[in-house]
Amino acid sequence: MLLDALARTSADVAATSARLRKTELIAECLRQSRPAEVPIVVAYLAGELPQGSIGVGWAGLRELPPPAGTPALEALEVDAAVARIASISGKGSQAARRAELADLFGRATEREQRFLRSLLLGELRQGALEGVMLDAVAKAAGRPAAEIRRATMLAGNVGAVAASALGGSDAGLDGFRLTVFRPVKPMLAQTAEDLPSALTRLNPAAIEWKLDGARLQVHRLGDEVRAYTRNLADVTDRVPEVVQTVLGLRAESLVLDGEAIALKPDGTPHRFQLTMSRFGSRNDADKGKSVPLSTFFFDLLHIDGEDVLDRPARERLAILDRLVPPRSRVPRIEAMTHADAESALAEALAKGHEGVMVKALDAPYEAGRRGGSWLKLKPTHTLDLVVLAAEWGHGRRTGKLSNLHLGARDPATGGFVMLGKTFKGMTDAMLAWQTEKLLELEERRDSYVVHVRPELVVEVAFDGVQTSRRYPGGVALRFARVKGYRPDKGPGEADTIDTVRAIHEGSA
């Protein structure tokens, strides 16, 4: 398949907001793909690289050759080139990467270059979310969507399932079963506005502390234990404490879901970044080993040859409680009244944790899905910040200023300190308005960023503040999203960098 066909499909998918039309477009593209191309087509149309991030940034894409005139680049050729770029390391690697990128982009048309640039930078936002992709695979293969979803849940890879489903074998999907040491995508939660609404939606329900740790799925077979992150990366060598905890359980085979978190002597959590230092580079991980990780499990998917993920949560949790001692379980109560739930939330917050999870006791474990039977509730922080610049959007946001650069006021200098970026939380109407407004405030621009006079104040919600070497203030916001603009406030009324640092210190 030509890359041009993928670029055209991507543009068409981005141009429509109708889920059914998106599904039809992707399904037709999949039908035209050869078997070896299917995993690549699935990944690219989902805005991902099969190789993951390969370390190519804007700097590496600034000087590229002129586009080719005629489409001739095959998807398999692009995948091979990306694999080569990902493997380049050591002395002279930058020059070698530039040469590979120049060769690849020199063979691409203008449309293909735009598609490749967005793909390599992880900015291909076209609305082809996993749910749409799964429906498209089902439509292309003529299989029930439920079969495709379940196979993907167990495989942890849409591309592999698509290749199997489109291969024409009725038995192909039967090979995707829960297998120890083959991690599955974790179940995710939706967000609840408050406890009363959550308990109205889910009843009966358990209230569980929401820990701000590292999500881990832990597999055991005999004396071998493997630990996987929420992205299914094997991090066993980084978490020996977790391995020892699981080896101490009385079972032959297990698949557990839980959290690893660094705790202070009083039981309150260290900063999230200290926990995550155990999962970063080798040097960071070695430095972080001076602070041990505590392990807390909250669900069970498999035990001693039996898959239990389809059983109601009440049954899974009963087995978990018999197997795992309280010190290694996430604190949990069954919510009998709203007062019980409020008490659990207050206790979790008092211990320095994020909030609570509300989980339906009669629901199965929906691996890989943001199921409605899990709801998360955590208080959020908000700040009034100043827009310092904005980046041009991609996909449906092409032609709109989308990714905002956010700054806090610095009383010492009278300037502003950048805290990070966000493109989340914006409606189409907000995008149109802010594009027009920011262009009125433009001071200068480069290839993809418009720098503006710091006059526009925006209210931003975020989950926390973390240490950052990337930004001059030494801190950055976690999971920032726009709540709305504050035309009633001027830049002199924006929150200060001192306030941000105080929030950071408060989570130390």
Task: Show which residues are catalytic.
Answer: 210
What is the biggest distance separating any 2 CA atoms in the chain, rounded to whole angstroms? 69
Cα-based torsion angle of the residue sequence 395, 398, 401, 403 in order, rounded to the nearest 10 degrees: 20
Percent helix, strand and coil across the chain, each to the nearest 5: 40, 25, 35
The DSSP symbol for 34 reads: -
The DSSP symbol for 187 reads: P
- Please measure the distance between the N-terminal and C-terminal CA atoms of the chain and give it in whole angstroms: 52
d(CA 208, CA 210): 6
Cβ atoms of residues 393 and 431 within 8 Å: yes
Tokens found for residue 135: 């429906």
C-alpha count within 13 angstroms, C-beta hemisphere, residue 233: 12
Per-residue burial over 109-142, b = 16 or more CB atoms within 10 Å of its CB, e = otherwise: bebbbbbbbbbbbebbbbbbeeebbbbbbbbbbe
d(CA 87, CA 96): 11
- Report which residue type is found at 369: R
3-15 and 110-120 helices cross at what angle (nearest 10)?
Answer: 70
CA dist 443 → 62, 331, 392, 447 (Å): 21, 53, 15, 14
d(CA 48, CA 148): 19
Q: Are strands 224-229 and 214-221 parallel, antiparallel or unpaired?
A: antiparallel
Q: How far is CA 36 from the centre of its chain?
A: 27
Q: Using omega within 30 degrees of 0 as the cis cutoff, is the peptide bond preceding 204 cis?
A: yes
The DSSP symbol for 172 reads: G
User: Which phi-psi region, left, alpha or beta, contains residue 175 (left: φ > 0; alpha: ψ -120 to 50)?
Assistant: alpha
- Report which residue type is found at 474: G
Cβ atoms of residues 157 and 166 within 8 Å: no
CA angle 378, 383, 384 (to 5 degrees): 150
Cβ atoms of residues 41 and 1 within 8 Å: yes
State the sign of the Cα–Cα–Cα–Cα dihedral 65, 67, 69, 72. Answer: positive
Q: Are strands 306-307 and 481-485 parallel, antiparallel or unpaired?
A: unpaired
